[in-house]
Structure 1
Amino acid sequence: MKISSYEKNRKKIGIFLAPLLSVIVYIIPMDISNDAHLVFSIMTFCLVFWLTEVIPLSMTALLGVSVAVILGIVSVKEAFLSLGHPVVLLFIGSFLIAQSMTKHGLDKRFALNLLSKEFFIKSPIRLIIGFSVISFLLSMWISNTATTAMLLPLALGIIYMFKSKHIKDIGSFAFFILLSIAYSASIGGATTLVGTPTNLIGAGFLKEEGYDIDFLQWILYAAPITVLSYIALIVYIKFHIRNFRYDLKTVKSIILKEKEKLPRMNRGERNTLFVFSLAVFMWILPGIANILGNQEMYKFLKAHIPEAIVALLAGILLFLLPVNKKESTLSVDDLRKLDWDTILLFGGGIALGKLIIKTGLASYIGKKIASVVSPEMVVLLIFVLVFSMIFLTEVSSNTATVITFAPILIGLLNEMKIDLFFPVFGVIISASFAFMLPIATPPNAIIYGSKMIPIQRMAKVGFFMNIIGAFIIAVIILIYMK
């Protein structure tokens, strides 16, 4: 079946199944309020629409909230308060900084300067480490998709040069260097609050429950998970390419030629670097004050200069700083290019999540699960939650999955009288660890499009990384909980 035909049929299936299943859910007798029953029905409809992508994900979320207003579950004013949520502002500001990096080529300059170091081109595994480290670091600040798309042409240039030299085992090397870029982008993105939308969505749910995690705290909790997962990936790749050899001069010439093409650092890059550095400093400043024990300063910074305001002001500053007499660092066209689908999805998703909790639906589902899971089974519960999230996001949008299941998880943990911070944090990180299928993440899809990634082999390596990643996340979360 052709992709276009499949897409067409998938939408038809969604349009048929969504109303049918939502009606069935509403008809089934449940010991909950009518509002909670209606919300359950709405969430079922939205989940089917998200899985089949009948309409953009954000429009499905907003449709669900709109139906809740029409049915009298919530007032229109209360329903759409989440569109002004501080995390939405953080989304917008961080997306503007990332857009400026890509527009002026600061990300590519960083990549080529790092790759041209002698250390990274001495051996095949070091070259893969070079590409993957860049992917890991960049995706902490700009989108995983943009990072992968930017590194792909550079990796392909090296692969094609090797092919022209008829180097043995090039197919295996090509497979692993491309896979390392995509996987490292996904892993690295989980390290910071702004690295991937699911982190911000999770932080939003935690904030609603009274857990206000700052930028530096997120990094300190996430880094052990992501760094260990990255190391596991590199060890796995090193074992599988141990017999591959290449000519150092060939690789060096390719990278240096690309580097020579770079123009001198322009005003736009300097402006972006300044604003980015300033934003990162202000993001981690409250965390530094907290670590140093200055609670007064910490509270002041969190109240008056929160992450969302720092991001927003940084984005605005990029529209003010000039690159020449006629242009600023960012223009109105750049504003139009932002990922508004994700921004609106977050606003609508948080609104739906609030309804799940407010109407008692999360508590009801939590009680049902808690009735068969004893508090003594916490270790098993954490492993099941992490594994479930990773494999669910193989076939569905990770943002939509988090929006759907985070409120239910919160309800479950509250019923079991378990502090919810670390389990929810672990599940949010898990949403970035889907490695098996091209449809699981945009980085996976991008490298699969190179025609050098056999899907069976990707699924095999991805399954290994899913299991290793799930184990690392679950163990570290259990250590944090102890």
Structure 2
Amino acid sequence: MCDRVAMQGPPDHAAAPPGAPHRGHPPPARLSLLRCLGVASGPAAALAIALVPSGLHAVPGYGHRPAYAAAVAAWMALWWLFEVLPVALTACLPLVLFPLLGVFGRGLAGDAARAAAPFVDAYIFLFLGGMAIGAAMEQWSLHRRVALHIMRAVGTDPKRLLLGMLVATSSISLWISNTATAVMMVPIGLALLAQLESAAGGRRLTHYGTAIMLAVAYASNVGGIGTKIGTGTNSIFCGFLADKLGHDLGFLRYMAIALPFVVLFVPLLWLALWRVGKRDGLGPGRARDALDRELAAMGPMSRGEKTVAAIFAAASALWILGDPLRAALAPPLQDALRGMGAAAGFKVQGKHYEATVAVLAALGLLALRALSLASVRRMPWGTLALLGGSFAMAAGIEGGGLSAWMAAKLAIVAEAPLLAQLGLASAGTIALSALASNTATVNVALNVLPQDLGVLFAATIAASCDFMLPAGTPPNAIVFGSGYVRLPVMIRTGFLLNVAAAALITVYVYGYARHLIGG
């Protein structure tokens, strides 16, 4: 669902390592040169863009507003890149800077309202409901039970077990955050490795262990591509299309466009990781015993699990059937809203329907006590601010006239063959996502690339496809704690997968996705 924003530090009351200073009273220390540069980079770039004469100050009909929108966007992008503040706090900059700079040209009050509106967009509530469903699954360990059953069904021969780990992890990541998925699957993988190592006479399975742990990281990232709520980048993309391009993607249609990519890429992950894992020369193992023990320890499904499963199934069915149901419900609902004084131009879109389903599912979980307040407090609330800030930045780029200036400058790129555009968007976004968070990457990509739906979708997929570096996404970093993954192996394997991902995205979008998405 989301990326780096979920990587929070321990709470203040958490035990600190021996010798570590108390979090509440940090000792005075000099900021590193890199951090100082990061802190200064945002305001410095913003001042330079806003004050230095350039074509941004002379866009017909907009005055200085394109330069001011570009200044805020550059400030946000640099602070996201250097992680100066938590990404959610950086996302709130438009709330202050857009009204002060008059980016929308509506006066202080009008600009403040326009900057705040994206923070209550329907996609925010859709993602909120998705987070609540994911939190309920985690609370009752329903996702763990599903993963174990998938792995038993795929098979427990080492080669098939690796595939089972990929399938189970990616399936869970369709519905809950990639970070939570990785945290849940790593202990399962370690338990399976312990069983296999015991069957191998206590020999440490270095290569196969690396493959299993990388399977958790990579499938956690790739799986989230398949649904609108799978990762924050998908919600940003859908919100961008709806608000800026007037193109509404329903839940089922998005799955039809994106889920086949997950199905195609998982076998590529399997082949690449089996090349690493097979070096241990494993024969038939006893991993099934470990899976059976894990399931036996869980016992029969509890009432809470059954409640979460039922609400999740109902919400999924309503999302999938959204287009015909919305077509039937929208006219009377719009009439009722107009009778209550709603704006005459208001139209019930797919995101309104889907958000309503998500919020009702969350309320149902709370009402039936299948979601505790403690689980609600642990939800990554900063993700909502991050999404709101992403939508606000896009609104400022559009409303401030920066998009018109960029479209003129990128006309040459837009005139290139579509296949070349897709290749550049895919490779460039994957490279950028190795350095910046996925959400920061997709924010930059959506606002600078040619406004072709296929090209934008290619960049959105690519933002979830960095496999080389631990800093690329939280799952990549989490698996390093297992003790099995070595950086050189991850870099070599990840580089090949990055190249494969860029190639597959290009061909996939050109030959399939763009025809469904309408590009």
TM-score exceeds 0.5 = yes
What is the aligned-residue identity percentage?
A: 29
The aligned residue for residue 42 of structure 2 is: 18
Tell me by how many angstroms 1:363 deviates. Answer: 2.0
Match of 1:230 among 266, 274, 282: 266
The aligned residue for residue 107 of structure 2 is: none
Query: Does residue 482 of structure 2 align to residue 441 of structure 1?
Result: no
Match of 2:382 among 314, 333, 341: 341
- List per-residue Cα deviations over 1:140-186 (Å, max 9, x = no partner): 01111111111101111222344454466711101111111111111
Q: Is the 8 A contact 1:192 1:218 kept in 2?
A: yes
Structure 1 spans left out of the alignment, 5+ residues = 322-327, 414-419
Q: Is the 8 A contact 2:468 2:492 kept in 1?
A: yes
User: How far apart, CA to CA, are the structure 2 residues paired with 1:334 and 1:9?
Assistant: 39
Query: Does residue 155 of structure 2 align to residue 120 of structure 1?
Result: yes
- List per-residue Cα deviations over 1:107-158 (Å, max 9, x = no partner): 11112223234x511x211001111110010000111111111110111122
Out of 459-468 and 95-104, give the one that drifted further.
459-468
Query: Does residue 64 of structure 2 align to residue 30 of structure 1?
Result: no
Taking a change above 3 Å as real, the CA distance of residues 225 and 249 of structure 1, as seen in their structure-2 partners, is closer
User: How far apart, CA to CA, are the structure 2 residues paired with 1:9 and 1:316?
Assistant: 48
Query: Does residue 82 of structure 2 align to residue 52 of structure 1?
Result: yes
User: How far apart, CA to CA, are the structure 2 residues paired with 1:447 and 1:7?
Assistant: 29
The aligned residue for residue 169 of structure 2 is: 135
The aligned residue for residue 149 of structure 1 is: 183
Tell me by how many angstroms 1:252 deviates. Answer: 2.3
Moved over 6 A (4+): 4-7, 298-302
Query: Does residue 218 of structure 2 align to residue 179 of structure 1?
Result: no
Q: TM-score, normalised by structure 1?
A: 0.89
Tell me by how many angstroms 1:376 deviates. Answer: 4.3
Match of 2:461 among 424, 429, 434: 429
Q: Is the 8 A contact 1:190 1:222 kept in 2?
A: yes
Query: Does residue 301 of structure 2 align to residue 260 of structure 1?
Result: no
User: How far apart, CA to CA, are the structure 2 residues paired with 1:433 and 1:241?
Assistant: 21
The aligned residue for residue 141 of structure 2 is: 105
User: How far apart, CA to CA, are the structure 1 residues paired with 2:33 and 2:353?
Assistant: 45
* Length, aligned pairs only: 458
Alignment of 1:56-455 (within 5 A): 56-74=86-104, 75-117=111-153, 119-121=154-156, 123-164=157-198, 165-166=200-201, 170-208=205-243, 209-242=245-278, 244-246=280-282, 248=284, 250-287=286-323, 289=324, 296-297=327-328, 306-321=353-368, 328-370=369-411, 372-373=412-413, 375-409=415-449, 412-413=450-451, 420-455=452-487
- List per-residue Cα deviations over 1:228-267 (Å, max 9, x = no partner): 1111111223344445444646322222222211132111
1:455 counterpart letter in structure 2: L
Query: Does residue 79 of structure 2 align to residue 43 of structure 1?
Result: no
Out of 229-238 and 81-90, give the one that drifted further.
229-238
Taking a change above 3 Å as real, the CA distance of residues 50 and 243 of structure 1, as seen in their structure-2 partners, is closer
Q: Is the 8 A contact 1:386 1:430 kept in 2?
A: yes
Q: Is the 8 A contact 2:446 2:456 kept in 1?
A: yes
User: How far apart, CA to CA, are the structure 2 residues paired with 1:40 and 1:205?
Assistant: 17
Tell me by how many angstroms 1:375 deviates. Answer: 1.9
Tell me by how many angstroms 1:9 deviates. Answer: 5.1
Q: Is the 8 A contact 2:122 2:355 kept in 1?
A: yes
2:443 counterpart letter in structure 1: I
Q: Is the 8 A contact 1:386 1:427 kept in 2?
A: yes
* RMSD of aligned Cα (Å): 2.5
Q: TM-score, normalised by structure 2?
A: 0.83
User: How far apart, CA to CA, are the structure 1 residues paired with 2:125 and 2:32?
Assistant: 35
Tell me by how many angstroms 1:334 deviates. Answer: 2.3
- List per-residue Cα deviations over 1:384-422 (Å, max 9, x = no partner): 01111111011101111222331222xx33xxxxxx222
Taking a change above 3 Å as real, the CA distance of residues 361 and 249 of structure 1, as seen in their structure-2 partners, is closer
Taking a change above 3 Å as real, the CA distance of residues 303 and 394 of structure 1, as seen in their structure-2 partners, is closer
User: How far apart, CA to CA, are the structure 1 residues paired with 2:67 and 2:396?
Assistant: 11
SS at match of 2:155: helix
Q: Is the 8 A contact 2:150 2:167 kept in 1?
A: no
Tell me by how many angstroms 1:303 deviates. Answer: 5.1
Tell me by how many angstroms 1:7 deviates. Answer: 8.6
Tell me by how many angstroms 1:335 deviates. Answer: 2.2
